[in-house]
Structures are given as C-alpha cells and as structure tokens.
Amino acid sequence: MDKLHKETEEVLEIMHVNVDKVKDRGEKLEVLDERAQCLMEAGKTFQKAAKVVAHQEKNKNRKWKLIVGGTVFLVVLIVIIIIIIAFSMPSPGSSSMSSPGSSLQLSPSMSPERKQ
C-alpha cells in the first residue's frame, strides 16, 4: 500500500507539472496571439502607407513625363519655325529689289526692235 501511495503521489506531481506547463503554454499562446494582432495592424498600416507612396511616385513620374514631353514638343516646334523662316527668306544671291519684268531677259535675236 505504501508503494501504491508513493506511485500515486508521483503521478499527481507529474500531473501538476503538466498542468503548469499547459498554463504556461496557454499564456505563451496568448502573447503570440497579441503579437500576431499587432503585426496584422502594422501590416495594414504599412499597406496604406505603401499605396500613398506609390500614388505620390506615380504623380511625380507623370509630372516629369509631362515636362519632358512639353520640352520636346517646344524644341520640335522651334525647329519647324526656324526651317519655315529659313526657306521663306530670299537667298543672299538674289536681289529682292529688282523690277518684276527684269527677271525675263530677251535674247538679241528675239528682240522686237530688230529689223531684217
């Protein structure tokens, strides 16, 4: 009977240790659950901040694309205007002050004053 009582006490002691371990495990699980909740909230906050930053960067990229596009457009427009002006100006070899009929010269054989 003494042996049985001793074994019973050992089993009870082991059960108390197991119960304490289960309590510790439950507390640790609660701490982990709280940490997981905090991480989930931090993740949601990070996602919102990342979306805001992505939107801001998209706007910056759009702004620079518009600036570069506008600059290229202006340069092309200026080049076209310069080309139009260059072709519309008279060349330095031709005189713009000559009379309208002076550009047509008749050869002496074709002259109306020639008598035969």
Distance CA 13, CA 16 (A): 5
- Looking at this protein, which amino acid is placed at residue 49? A
Q: Which pLDDT value is given to residue 81? A: 96
* Position 2 confidence tier, pLDDT thresholds 50, 70, 90: confident
Condensed to tens digits (0 to 9), the pLDDT of residues 50-70 reads: 999 999 999 999 999 999 999
- Looking at the predicted structure, is the pLDDT value of residue 23 above 90? yes
* Position 112 confidence tier, pLDDT thresholds 50, 70, 90: low
In this prediction, residues 99-109 reach a mean pLDDT of: 52
Q: Which pLDDT value is given to residue 1? A: 83
Q: Decide: pTM greater than 0.85.
A: no
Round the CA-based radius of gyration of the chain to a whole number and report it. 50
Q: Which pLDDT value is given to residue 77? A: 97
Distance of CA 2 to the CA centre of its chain: 83
